A and B are shown apart, each in its own frame.
Chain A
Amino acid sequence: MSESGDPKKFEFRDDSDGPDNDSRRAAIEYDASRQSSDSSSDISYKNMGWKGVSDDEPEEALEKSEPIPEEELDMTPMIDVTFLLLIFFMVTASFTLQQSFEQPPAKSDEPSTNVAETEEVEDDYIEVLIDQNNIYYITTRDVEEEEAPSQTEMRTRVLDAKNSSNATRLIITAHVDSLHRNLVAVWDTGLLAGLQMEIKTTEEDY
């Protein structure tokens, strides 16, 4: 234990003092112990609490590893992994689908500022107007700009109008400041009623 000239002993003592490079030093120590056939050095390690490792042990383990007999091969992990992959791809595949509507491209570069244009249409149609406050106004053959304050009311009115007339088209005029969800609601109603639709936007306040 004293600081003698023996480098091995010194190394080992130093090891216990500083935690740095513990494993590396231990490895060096271990190597050194293997190289030396001197039994006295082995004893000194044991005195210091080194339990020592039998050199034969790992080799024994290697010898023991035999090829697994084929009838013992377990298929379970393979099946598990396969199902895992299957589920993964099923999930990712179903999530890439996006529910959507197909809509016509925008009509012109400028939003229409003139609502009176719609008068030129002669055949039966239903017009839904969404103003800047997101209130629906429904114009049908019978009523002019009837206010529908809620989405459900708009839906029932449009569907009623469709059933009571032979309207084939739905003209949606939306204020640029109206909400997208309201336009989608009208579009949805139109699809439900089986009407042909067109969208116009306006900047005119009501």
Chain B
Amino acid sequence: MADDDQSGIPKPKRKKEDAELDMTAMIDVTFLLLAFFVVVSKMDPQKTIDLPVASVTFNVPEKNCVVMVATADSSTETFKVYKGSSMNEADLIPLQDPDLLEEEVGAYVEDEFTRNPTKEAVLIKGEGDVRTGLIEMIKRGVNLSELAKTRKIHVAVEEK
């Protein structure tokens, strides 16, 4: 042991430096990366909406909008319409009856605008594979809401 210490004189010195190394910076960076990936992974479910691409777009703050989501499974030709952007099963609107769909969309939009009068628009997030007729039905449903008539309708797209 004593021999070892003598032969490598710089060794113990180094050890002392190691002990003094501040871990704070490394932990900070780690948390930064962690936060970054948490944020990025949260964005993923929203990205799964396969929005149609466009070159001319306008940015709309989603917070100021009543959101409707329409998704399509192109392999099975099934469509889903959700109230709000969270895409929960509980927010599904049944599609069997077009009239019922329009009524429910209208009621939801009216309800949302009554609760949040500062919201400026309706944002329809429709996947590219959704049929035009379904988007049109949602639009007609929005029209059933009196409060929506003075507001704009936006169709979400993705910039090319």
Measured CB to CB, the residues of A under 8 A from B are: 76-77, 80, 84, 87-88, 91-92, 95-106, 109, 111, 130, 174-185, 187-188, 191-192, 199, 201, 203
Contacts and interface: CB of A to CB of B under 8 A. Distances in A.
Interface string B101-130: 000000000000000000001010111111
A80 B28 contact: yes
Given A101-B155, A102-B121, A130-B132, 7 more contacts: A84-B31, A84-B32, A96-B61, A97-B60, A98-B123, A106-B140, A184-B157
A6 to B, nearest CB: 43
Looking at B52, B126, B128, B134, the one whose CB has the most chain A CB atoms below 10 A away is B52
A96 B64 CA distance: 10
Secondary structure at the A interface, as helix, strand, loop or mixed, is mixed
A104 B154 CA distance: 9
Interface of B: 24-25, 28, 31-32, 35-36, 39, 43, 52-63, 65, 70, 121, 123, 125-136, 139-140, 142-143, 148-149, 152-159
B157 A183 contact: no
B131 to A, nearest CB: 5
A192 to B, nearest CB: 5
Contacts of B133: 111, 175-177, 201, 203
Given A87-B32, A106-B143, A101 B154 contact: yes
A185 B55 CA distance: 9
Contacts of B157: 99-101, 184, 188
A101 B54 contact: yes
B59 to A, nearest CB: 4
Contacts of B52: 180-181, 184-185
B45 to A, nearest CB: 12
Contacts of B121: 102
A191 B136 contact: no
B154 A180 contact: no
Secondary structure at the B interface, as helix, strand, loop or mixed, is mixed
B42 to A, nearest CB: 9
A96 B63 contact: yes
Given A176-B132, A201-B132, A92 B154 contact: no
A102 B153 CA distance: 6
B154 A102 contact: yes
A192 B56 CA distance: 7
Contact of B156 (A98, A174, A175): A98
A31 to B, nearest CB: 35
Nearest to A108: B140
Nearest to A74: B24
B54 A188 contact: yes
25 contacts: A87-B32, A91-B36, A96-B63, A97-B59, A98-B62, A98-B125, A98-B156, A99-B57, A100-B57, A100-B123, A101-B154, A101-B157, A102-B58, A105-B143, A111-B133, A130-B132, A179-B128, A179-B131, A180-B131, A181-B128, A183-B132, A184-B53, A184-B128, A192-B55, A199-B136
A22 to B, nearest CB: 31
A188 B128 CA distance: 14
B154 A100 contact: yes
